[in-house]
Amino acid sequence: MNRRLTVVFLCLMSFFVIVAGRLFQLQIIEASQWRELAKRFQEGTVTIPALRGRIYDRNGVLLAEDVRAISIAVDNYNMTRPDLLEELLVTHLQIPRLAVREKLYRPSYFTWIARAISPDQAEALQEAARKAGARGLIFLEDRKRQYPHKDLASNVIGFVGVDGKGLEGIELFFDTELQGTESIWSFVRMADGTQIERRQIQAGHPGRDLTLTIDSRIQYIAESAITRGVRAYKAKAGIALVLDPWTGEVLAMAQDKRYDLNAFQSSRPEQRQNLAVVWPFEPGSSFKVFTMLAALEHNVIAPNERISGSATYQIAHHTFRNADGREYGMVTPTDVIKNSINTAMIRIAQRLGEERLYNALQKYGFGQKTGIELPGEVSGYLPSVKSWSALEIGSIAIGQSISVTALQLASRVAMIANGGKLVQPHIVKSSAPRSPAARIVSEESCRQLTEMMVETVRSGTGVLAQIPGYTIAAKTGTAQKAVPGQGYVKGKYVASFEGFFPAEAPQYLILVVLDEPGGRQYYGSETAAPIFKEIAQQLIALDRIPPKP
């Protein structure tokens, strides 16, 4: 028994001696050899964004999609011939030499050189590096965002950065839905940059496609018209909106300042702003329809009643005047709207009173965001009635001392067009049914106001928007602009024209706004009205809307 134990003990001792000797050989004698072998292989991980969801217009026209691209990195520790790599990167990728050097000489196993370049460009670089014997570049499959229509609806769609994240517009607002789930890959490569193994650690899932309410044909019509209008009337900026007054769907959200979404890096900040939701302005006479609507709802004025349209009207030592100081005598509510008579409108507002006017405007949604699916929307400004001075009842009644956005103004005019329902504007189609719009004013008040707006185009300030065979309901607006520290400045105006047609069964609502028209013509009736007409005529042709019998 003792002999057997001795044999087992000796065997175990021999085994441990052999293992210890081998460890000594590996860790001491052959350590440098194994370290050198380990250096020949490097392992790492890389994250690849998921295929981002596509964006379509309401008719299925593609507006944004991901396409195949290649991203390039460098293994700084194991690259060879850095001088040649530098030259190749400068030549093939047009990267400034100093930037290339900064990337090449970082202490890292992985440094991004260029993201999402075209496959042809990447293949040419890879082949040139192979022929030159310059190693260390890493080529990875990637994607980049492509916008087939370049600047069309650029202020709506927005763009994504090189990391695949939305930075503006729809791309930003719906970034999470569009992004999907990224995939993670591990890779093993030799010191010369050759990949010998790659495997997926986390599978990605593509993002959700989005369909906009925008009609690319109508968007193009509106963009073309507002761009020409801004040039013709030497305006600082311009906006044109087209809405479905029954659903609140935005069919076009156009402005003169746009940029190529495929080259967003060269765009200017003012081009990237979506003026329809981020720019608040005093609407001027365009706002009179809401004061009149509140008056009709509260029965403070009868449709055939006459009220003074004197050239001037004084409140608290301040004199309000009609445009060009014109005297109108005794006028009806229809005259007030069609000729945009300030003094008569203020007298009607005084009958209504501060509380009822304020409550009505608040109910109509002024001073509140519309909730459109776009980033950066502002609420405009409706001062609390508690802060009103004696002048506010007069100035707010005619669209001063209050600010709105173009979208806010257009969507509230839609309420008049559809018979009194406050529709929430939206720009993305939803598969789920939307809540029905609530009626907040009577159909009768809207009918009476629509008739007044029809007269505006038939024989009032909106005659330049007339289209033979079609009944258009509209209102003009010209608001003097206030400059901080200077008050209202002569020569600076916002001109607007809002309307819908056919008036008896509205299909389209159009709003045109010009910021600071700079020529001799600056009234909304002279500038915005012709742009409205141009857009309306093309919509009639597009939809083949028959003329009224």
Residue 256 per-residue DSSP state:
S
pLDDT for 13 equals: 59
> What SS3 class is residue 410?
helix
Q: What is the mean pLDDT of residues 524-533?
A: 97
For residue 38, pLDDT over 90 is answered with no
Q: What are the angstrom distances between the C-alpha of 165 and each of 180, 206, 207, 473?
A: 11, 14, 12, 43
- Domain 216-543 CATH class label: alpha beta
For residues 504 and 408, give the distance between their C-alpha atoms in angstroms, rounded to a whole number: 23
For residue 387, pLDDT over 90 is answered with yes
* pLDDT above 90 as % of the chain: 69
For residues 305 and 324, give the distance between their C-alpha atoms in angstroms, rounded to a whole number: 25
For residue 26, pLDDT over 50 is answered with no
pLDDT for 531 equals: 98
Give just the sign of the alpha carbon dihedral 522, 524, 530, 536: positive
For residue 199, pLDDT over 80 is answered with no
> What SS3 class is residue 11?
helix
Q: Position of tokens 């029954």?
A: 246
For residues 198 and 208, give the distance between their C-alpha atoms in angstroms, rounded to a whole number: 28
For residue 321, pLDDT over 80 is answered with yes
For residues 473 and 450, give the distance between their C-alpha atoms in angstroms, rounded to a whole number: 6
pLDDT for 261 equals: 96
Q: What is the mean pLDDT of residues 44-68?
A: 88
pLDDT for 47 equals: 72
pLDDT for 525 equals: 96
Q: What is the mean pLDDT of residues 327-332?
A: 96
Task: Name residue 185's beta-bridge partners.
Answer: 46, 200
For residues 83 and 134, give the distance between their C-alpha atoms in angstroms, rounded to a whole number: 9
From the candidate CATH numbers 3.40.1010.10, 3.90.950.20, 3.90.1310.10, 1.10.490.10, the one assigned to the domain spanning 45-94+103-179+198-211: 3.90.1310.10
For residue 514, pLDDT over 60 is answered with yes
pLDDT for 22 equals: 52
Task: Name residue 239's beta-bridge partners.
Answer: 255, 513
Summarize pLDDT for 455-512 with one digit per residue, the tens: 999 999 999 999 999 999 999 999 999 888 777 888 899 999 999 999 999 999 999 9
- Range with the poorest average pLDDT among 247-256, 401-410, 423-432: 423-432
Q: What is the mean pLDDT of residues 386-414?
A: 96
pLDDT for 487 equals: 79
Name the more confident of 40 and 71: 71
For residues 286 and 357, give the distance between their C-alpha atoms in angstroms, rounded to a whole number: 16
For residue 265, pLDDT over 70 is answered with yes
Q: What is the mean pLDDT of residues 191-208?
A: 70
- pLDDT band at residue 40 under the 50/70/90 scheme: very low
Q: Position of tokens 């559809």?
A: 418
Residue 335 per-residue DSSP state:
H
Summarize pLDDT for 292-302 with one digit per residue, the tens: 999 999 999 99
For residues 354 and 362, give the distance between their C-alpha atoms in angstroms, rounded to a whole number: 12
Q: What is the mean pLDDT of residues 124-149?
A: 90
Summarize pLDDT for 424-457 with one digit per residue, the tens: 999 999 877 788 888 999 999 999 999 999 999 9
For residue 402, pLDDT over 90 is answered with yes
The overall average pLDDT reported for the chain is 90
pLDDT for 164 equals: 84
pLDDT for 29 equals: 55
Give the length of the chain.
549
Amino acid at 423: V
pLDDT for 479 equals: 94
For residues 506 and 477, give the distance between their C-alpha atoms in angstroms, rounded to a whole number: 21
> What SS3 class is residue 514?
strand
For residue 11, pLDDT over 70 is answered with no
Neighbours of 80 (CB within 10 A): 16
Write the CB contacts of 256 (distance below 8 Å, at least 6 apart in sequence). Answer: 223, 226, 227, 229, 230, 235, 237, 238
For residues 479 and 494, give the distance between their C-alpha atoms in angstroms, rounded to a whole number: 5
Domain boundaries defined on the chain: 45-94+103-179+198-211, 216-543
